[in-house]
Amino acid sequence: MLKILQTFWTGPSNINNENLVSMKAGWLSCEYHWMSWALSCLQAKKTFGEVSLVTDLKGKQILIDQLQLPYSHVSTQLEGALDHYHPSLWALAKIYTYSIQTGPFLHLDGDVFIWQKPDDKFLNSRLAAQNLDKNLEFYTNALNEINDHFIHIPSSLLKKSYEHRDVYGSNAGLLGGNDLEFFKTYCEQAFKFVDENKASLDKVNTGSLNFIFEQYLFCRLAAEANISVSYYGKMVDNPVFKDYIKFEDHPHTQMVHPVGGFKKYHHVCDHVAKKLRNDYPDYYYRVINMVRSAGVNMRSAIYVSPLLHLDELLPLAEKSLAPKKNEPLFERTNAAIEYLNKKYPLKLSSLKTHISRNEFIKQVKLMLPGSAERNCLLEIFRIESTTNSLLKKLYASQTAITGLYKAELKKYKQIQDVFSLPESELLKIEIDRPEHYKLLSTGWNWKLDYKEQVHALIERNFNEEKSSLHVLLIPDELPGSIKEYYLDELDLVIFDTLKDTFTIGDILPEMKQYFSLDEIEEDYSTFKQLIISTIKGILYAGVIKISS
């Protein structure tokens, strides 16, 4: 019988003394890390029936004792087993799990969300993996570092084995098979490679080695042994991995696996949270309460707002929490003032954002008369001051905040249900504009995903020609903020059309005027799918809504 497995290693026990709940593991915020584990485990259990976990004592404390994830079997064999290895070599824990298996298995990463059970051919394979990676730059970069700095390099990793050739790896989001002899050899070689080069780890990007000794080595050894690997998904030759982060395709997607930096994408994190909240609410609120009780910061700021009134959903005893202050934020405006002061010393030194909107505009016009830079500064001030006004209005009271929260709960479920309908029913669904929004025309794109990028954003925009853009300001209830959504041409056309309520089916003929007759007549199904996919995307983004 095939064993479904997951591995969670919290790191060497002798150096990992931090509050484990705060662990992000590459995610934007720690709550998404634990939500990812919950959603991954629960979907695997729903798909396969049983899931086993290999972890250490701290891992068991979080996933089993606190979150109560329904693993059918839990092993703590990782406790102390990897204490003498670098904490960045997280894939060694998975290699260890592969090495102790005594029967056929399929291993799933804790950020793999699977909706469609693989067919029997895949499940009964000698070797199986998520997908074949081809010529992804991070493989070559890591292999070059290895060849430049390591002394003990197995023949499979030598430069002559990959230089001037296609470079392949077997993505280990899913990895397994029934050829235990192969896994014995593979795991031994992986550990040997790391053990023999411990002295040189500080000369390379240690974390990038995981892809080599797990994914590249697996693929190379299988090829050298002439063993075919079965793949669940399509080959990936673009580092964007676009087919593996499309939560919007549910329920018509096989799986989602947000690798690497995609764990920091806001919309990916939001989907993980909302999907778990929609499908497995008990576990979702268990994660929230665990993080709250640990006193750890999280992006889901709504749960530390004393104005959120959802006692029936948050049954555990609440901590005493300080009220969240909705103070005006002018981070980008202040960064712009700082940028201009460096360029024109002391010209704007007296300018402050806490004055009234009209007074700020008046002072800027006096200090920067007729300047393109003046328009740039005034535009970001206008966006941020409008955002602050919306924040003050929408998050002012218990009724308002709780109402936003409950509306978003309903909205996500509606979208999931609607796009599970047959097309004939889907086309009858009515859509219109959201209840709360502000549409602004802009000359520059001011979207800031990460605060540390603010100075780069300011420098870019102050040195770019003005263009014509449209940004929609809409509530983003989980972080308790206002989201800036920059509409592309098709988004804007659909939004403009929805001055009145339309069914999705009625939108289609309205869109024909924006496409050539040839485009529509030659491939109407592609035209229709483009419109429906765009509607789905902006529904999830909150740009439009399903009519009640």
Each residue's pLDDT tens digit, 480-494: 899 999 999 999 999
For 53, what's the count of Cα atoms within 13 Å in the CB-facing half-sphere? 27
Spatial CA neighbour of 231 closest among 113, 117, 109, 132: 132
Please confirm whether the linkage preceding 251 is cis (ω < 30° from 0). yes
Q: Give residues with Cβ within 8 angstroms of 459, minimum separation 6.
A: 339
Question: How far lies 257's CA from each of 39, 237, 269, 406, 488, in Å?
Answer: 12, 16, 12, 28, 26
Residue-level pLDDT at 325: 52
Please determine, for residue 6, whether its predicted confidence score (pLDDT) is greater than 70. yes
For 537, what's the count of Cα atoms within 13 Å in the CB-facing half-sphere? 16
Residue-level pLDDT at 58: 94
**Continuous segment of H or E residues that includes residue 481:** strand 481-486
Please determine, for residue 324, whether its predicted confidence score (pLDDT) is greater than 70. no
Question: Rounded to whole angstroms, how far apart are CA atoms 25 and 63?
Answer: 14
Identify the band that residue 241 occupies on the pLDDT scale cut at 50, 70 and 90. Answer: low
Structure tokens at 170: 């077997």
Each residue's pLDDT tens digit, 390-440: 999 999 888 888 899 999 999 999 999 999 999 999 999 999 999 999 999
Do the beta carbons of residue 116 and residue 251 sit within 8 Å? no
**Which residues sit opposite 74 in a β-bridge?**
53
Residue-level pLDDT at 246: 82
Each residue's pLDDT tens digit, 460-480: 999 999 999 999 999 999 888
Question: Rounded to whole angstroms, how far apart are CA atoms 480 and 308?
Answer: 11
Question: Rounded to whole angstroms, how far apart are CA atoms 427 and 532?
Answer: 9
Please determine, for residue 308, whether its predicted confidence score (pLDDT) is greater than 50. yes
The DSSP secondary-structure symbol of 452 reads G
Question: Rounded to whole angstroms, how far apart are CA atoms 106 and 115?
Answer: 15
Each residue's pLDDT tens digit, 514-523: 999 888 888 8
Other CB atoms within 10 A of residue 354 CB: 8
* Domains within the chain, CATH numbers bracketed: 3-255 (3.90.550), 331-546 (no CATH)
Please determine, for residue 323, whether its predicted confidence score (pLDDT) is greater than 50. no
Please determine, for residue 316, whether its predicted confidence score (pLDDT) is greater than 50. no
**Which residues sit opposite 53 in a β-bridge?**
6, 74
Question: Rounded to whole angstroms, how far apart are CA atoms 214 and 220?
Answer: 10
Helix/strand/coil for 74: strand
Question: How far lies 272's CA from each of 23, 263, 265, 280, in Å?
Answer: 17, 10, 11, 11
Q: Which residue has the tokens 């954003």?
A: 457
Question: Rounded to whole angstroms, how far apart are CA atoms 470 and 156?
Answer: 52
Each residue's pLDDT tens digit, 348-369: 878 888 888 899 999 999 888 8
Q: ∠ CA(417), CA(277), CA(534), 5° rounding?
A: 45
Please determine, for residue 116, whether its predicted confidence score (pLDDT) is greater than 60. yes
Question: Rounded to whole angstroms, how far apart are CA atoms 204 and 200?
Answer: 7
Please determine, for residue 226, whether its predicted confidence score (pLDDT) is greater than 70. yes
Once rounded to an integer, what is the mean pLDDT over residues 91-97? 98
